[in-house]
Amino acid sequence: MSIVQPIDEAVKTDQPWSVRMADSMIARHSPDAAQWHYEHGLLLMAIEWVWRATGDARYWDHVKGTVDLSIAPDGTIRTYNPEEHNLDQINHGRVLFPLYQATGDERYKRAIMLLRQQLASQPRTDSGGFWHKQIYPYQIWLDGVYMAGPFYAQYARTFDEPAGFDDVAHEIILTEQHTRDPKTGLLYHAWDERKQQRWANPETGCSPHFWGRAIGWYAMAIVDVHGLDGSGAPRPRGHPARSNHGRCAGPGYARTGLLGRRPGRQSVPRWLVRVLRERAGASERLQRRGPLHSGVTRNGRRRIRRLRQEVGL
């Protein structure tokens, strides 16, 4: 096990927040403790972006060193089981693209192909959407759009697979069509095409709740697929499928479509809301506890205080 550097020695408070967060995470997380999981993948991708912004080789070395511990020469991935058909495991693969492009190391390409093979064999709903996992039959979850879509689009661009763009667009549109609540404009967390799950609405197949984090995943899938994050557009601008779901991509959609509407207001507050709705028709309980604002609860305030202490504030 590698020795993790003390946080107070690793984080310099006169640096930009991106650098401070990257330094804090590197200090707290040993590379050999990483697993193939979207949470670890998101962290590595963020650190890779800090490397792009700063040119500091420490960040690149951390990303490459961490990934190298998971990828065997034949491209197999430690702790990854493709037979689970778990979309959550696809997202981590996004960090493989810059590694392959920078080094030309074939093991990264083999790992990318392994993940693409999972998508090729991923079970689908009758309407053509990916099951979220093998153990979640005929279910589409908002977060699954983010877990698979940006990787799939990046693969389509890198390895010239135009049909992949159509597949990604179809997933985005299909999910929105089946999860949107006509009353609030918000997107339900999940949809069961067969309407057999105990949580599924017997008429719509939707789950009973909106979940702020999942709405955030869906929004970021659109942003990343359209290349609005500055890392390069996976979808060619001339591709016909782009205009078909352009209504899901503009700032107006993100402001009033994803976040919904409330009577007498143009949109909900800027904080992503989490609505917990009781299935039996009880009153709704609104909590501003989405991914962008978790500090209104006691536990949220404790987490923020700990984070501020860890980064030296």
Residues involved in catalysis: 143
**DSSP secondary structure, 29-67, as one string:** --GGG--SSHHHHHHHHHHHHHHHHH--HHHHHHHHHHH
Q: How many CB atoms lie within 10 A of CB 205?
A: 22
Determine the Cα–Cα distance for residues 80 and 146; give it in Å rounded to an integer: 18
Q: φ, ψ for residue 274 (rounded to 5)?
A: -120, 120
Residue 285 DSSP SS3: strand
CA quadruple 40, 77, 165, 125: dihedral positive or negative? Answer: negative
Determine the Cα–Cα distance for residues 126 and 298; give it in Å rounded to an integer: 44
Task: Name 195's Cβ contacts closer than 8 Å, sequence gap at least 6.
Answer: 201, 202, 203, 204, 205
Task: Name 73's Cβ contacts closer than 8 Å, sequence gap at least 6.
Answer: 107
Angle, vertex CA 51, rays to CA 39 and CA 145, nearest 5? 35
Strands (E), 109-202: 139-141, 190-192
Determine the Cα–Cα distance for residues 114 and 110; give it in Å rounded to an integer: 6
Cβ proximity of 70 and 34 under 8 Å: yes
Strand duo 285-287 + 274-276: pairing: antiparallel
